[in-house]
Amino acid sequence: MAARPPRPKPAFTRNLKLEKDVPPPFANFAKYVDPSGKLNFAGKAVLHADGVDFSSGNSYKINMAELELREELGKGQYGVVQKVFHKPTKVIMAMKEIRLELDTGKLSQILMELDVLHKSHSPYIVEFYGAFFIESCVYYCMEYMDAGSLDRLIPYKNGVPEDVLSRIAFSIVSGLRFLKDELKIIHRDVKPTNVLANSKGEIKLCDFGVSGQLIQSLAKTNIGCQSYMAPERIAMSDNAAYSVASDVWSLGISCLEVGSGKYPYPANRYDSIFAQLNAIVHETPPDLPHDRFGPEAIDFVRQCLQKDAKARPTYAELIVHPFILKYQDHADEIDMAGWVQGALEWRQAHADELHQLKNGGGGTGAGSSPSSPASNHGKGFGLPNSLRDMMFGRRQ
């Protein structure tokens, strides 16, 4: 009998490299794992109080009872991110708590929408393992990135060297492109706290707007300093106007911060949040430092930070920008893991200073607490209309 032809890979994984040298995290849990080593959730998610069941094909559910809480990894606007140990699989995960006052129907819809993540794999996106809810909290379990987010690593040497920035920019653009092309998703919250690194030197995106319902639910409670937002988002009252180009702006601001080690519009330079937002909307954005970055890197950021959203490059254009191509051919020689290691050691050696900065509110982005009033970290989806009108006049 003729051998069966191999099953075609789903379209979205066809062009992606899978890690070959690392055993998949669920290798010891074969019953639930497909041959690629990924959890296979075929069919629709079914929600119940203990977790999420995926009704057909292989199924797997995660619930709180199976998790052992380890240390806190960080705090965001909606809750805590904790390192957890999933006892049945022995996999370390990051669990994000999102506090929401929602009815069961909305929670159910959020989890159904999150299901799309089970079907998506990219080396530039953190893996999603599962979610469940308890009372008014959604718990979202994802790949644990052992070096944390970029904001924690960039105080080291006042920002990353040019070759490392090029690889980080490549990873972010690749991740954003994957979300857009394969999942039809706009990230909506690109910033250094949402770009994670691990000790292998991999860079991956998290916290993208996969769930429209979740975005809507969060938006209601989310007002504050929104410093990674594109000028058109700050100045316009209609959130529906959000487009990919706004993420490209946020990518530019993030590259500027990661390259220079500093958030480019620090709160302590402005008298008020209005003055700060006004600068974002009206002033020419700063360049990457000319003494450490070449013309290609400077141009990459300038292109992203054009005030006219339509003039900003697409991901297809950015991925072949001279700043990306400059390091593409010898990407393997760039010691990303070494840079991550150096940054982690630096953090450990400066733990006391960083702790003080966090509690005192440094306000430079790097090392400042997301919850401190002086923090510049972007918070949100929109200014209240009254404030926006006051600052920028109503736009139709």
Ligand X SMILES: Nc1ncnc2c1ncn2[C@@H]1O[C@H](COP(=O)(O)OP(=O)(O)OP(=O)(O)O)[C@@H](O)[C@H]1O
Annotated binding-site residues for ATP read 96
Nearest-approach distance from CB 229 to ligand X, in angstroms: 12
Q: Judge contact between 324 and 226, C-beta under 8 A.
A: no
Question: Residue 96 or 177: which CB sits closer to ligand X?
Answer: 96
Nearest alpha carbon to residue 114 among 182, 43, 214: 214
Q: Judge contact between 84 and 68, C-beta under 8 A.
A: yes
Sole binder of ligand X in the list 145, 153, 251, 258 (CB under 6 A): 145
Give the number of other CB atoms < 10 A from CB of residue 45: 22
Q: How many amino acids of this chain bind ligand X (CB under 6 A)?
A: 25
Binding mask 154-193 for ligand X (x = CB under 6 A): ---------------------------------------x
Question: Residue 200 or 302: which CB sits closer to ligand X?
Answer: 200
Nearest-approach distance from CB 50 to Mg ion, in angstroms: 26
DSSP code for 209:
-
Q: Does 139 bind ligand X (CB under 6 A)?
A: no
**Separation of alpha carbons 281 and 358, rounded Å:** 28
Per CB under 6 A, the segment of 10-18, 61-69, 72-80, 271-279 that binds ligand X is 72-80
Give the number of other CB atoms < 10 A from CB of residue 188: 19
Sole binder of ligand X in the list 62, 67, 81, 176 (CB under 6 A): 81
Token match 């700060």: residue? 276
Binding mask 197-216 for Mg ion (x = CB under 5 A): ----------x---------
Per CB under 6 A, the segment of 13-21, 147-155, 298-306, 344-352 that binds ligand X is 147-155
Nearest-approach distance from CB 193 to Mg ion, in angstroms: 5
3-state secondary structure of 380: coil
Name the active-site residue from 115, 151, 163, 189.
Answer: 189
Question: Residue 52 or 94: which CB sits closer to ligand X?
Answer: 94
Q: Does 267 bind ligand X (CB under 6 A)?
A: no
Per CB under 6 A, the segment of 138-146, 155-163, 277-285, 310-318 that binds ligand X is 138-146
**DSSP assignment of 103-153:** -HHHHHHHHHHHGGGGG---TTB--EEEEEEETTEEEEEEE--TTEEHHHH
Nearest alpha carbon to residue 131 among 101, 153, 107: 107
Sole binder of Mg ion in the list 194, 211, 217, 364 (CB under 5 A): 194
Catalytic residue check, 189 = yes
The sign of the torsion formed by the CA atoms of 160, 162, 163, 167 equals positive
- From the annotation, which residues make up the binding site? 96
Q: Does 250 bind Mg ion (CB under 5 A)?
A: no
Give the number of other CB atoms < 10 A from CB of residue 71: 7
Binding partner of residue 167 among Mg ion, ligand X, none, CB under 5 to 8 Å per kind?
A: none
**Separation of alpha carbons 100 and 74, rounded Å:** 18
Quick one: 58 exposed, middle or buried, by C-beta within 10 A (0-12, 13-18, 19+)? Answer: middle
Contact positions with ligand X (CB under 6 A) in 312-371: 370
Q: How many amino acids of this chain bind Mg ion (CB under 5 A)?
A: 3
Cα dist from 258 to 82, 253, 289, 331, whole Å? 24, 9, 11, 19
Question: Residue 69 or 331: which CB sits closer to ligand X?
Answer: 69
Side-chain half-sphere exposure of 22, counting CA atoms within 13 A:
10
Burial 88-102 (b: 16+ CB within 10 A, else e): ebebebbbbbbebeb
Sole binder of ligand X in the list 187, 312, 347, 377 (CB under 6 A): 377
Sole binder of ligand X in the list 61, 86, 96, 388 (CB under 6 A): 96
Please name the helix (run of DSSP H) or strand (run of DSSP E) that holds residue 12, with its range, or none.
Answer: helix 11-14
Q: Does 86 bind ligand X (CB under 6 A)?
A: no
Nearest-approach distance from CB 256 to Mg ion, in angstroms: 19
Binding partner of residue 370 among ligand X, Mg ion, none, CB under 5 to 8 Å per kind?
A: ligand X
Per CB under 6 A, the segment of 52-60, 111-119, 146-154, 258-266 that binds ligand X is 146-154
Nearest alpha carbon to residue 261 among 335, 368, 350: 368
Q: Does 138 bind ligand X (CB under 6 A)?
A: no
**Separation of alpha carbons 216 and 202, rounded Å:** 31
- Rule CB under 6 A: which residues touch ligand X? 73-78, 81, 94, 96, 126, 142-145, 148-149, 152, 193-194, 196, 206-207, 370, 377, 379
Q: Which residues are catalytic?
A: 189
